[in-house]
Amino acid sequence: MDTSPSVRDAYSPEFLSAVERVLADEGGYSSNPADPGGETRFGISARAHPGVDIATLTRDQAVNIYWREWWLRFGFAQLPDAIGAKTFDLAVNIGAAHAIECLRRALRASGSPVTEDGTLGPATTLAARRANPIALMSALRSEAAGHYRLVASKQKNGADFIKGWLNRAYA
pLDDT in tens, 67-120: 999 999 999 999 999 999 999 999 999 999 999 999 999 999 999 988 766 678
Q: How many Å apart are CA 128 and CA 120, to the nearest integer? A: 10
Q: How many Å apart are CA 49 and CA 51, to the nearest integer? A: 6
Q: How many Å apart are CA 99 and CA 6, to the nearest integer? A: 28
How high is the pLDDT of residue 118? 66
Contact criterion met (CB below 8 Å) for 147 and 98:
yes
Asked if the model's pLDDT at residue 1 lies above 60, the reply is no
- Regarding pTM above 0.75, the answer is yes
In CATH terms, the superfamily for domain 10-170 is Chitosanase, subunit A, domain 1 (1.20.141.10)
Query: Each residue of 116-137: b (16+ CB within 10 Å) or e?
Result: eeeebeebbbebbeebeeeebb
pLDDT in tens, 112-133: 988 766 678 999 999 999 999 9
**Domain map (residue ranges) of the chain:** 10-170
Cross-strand pairs, 29: 41
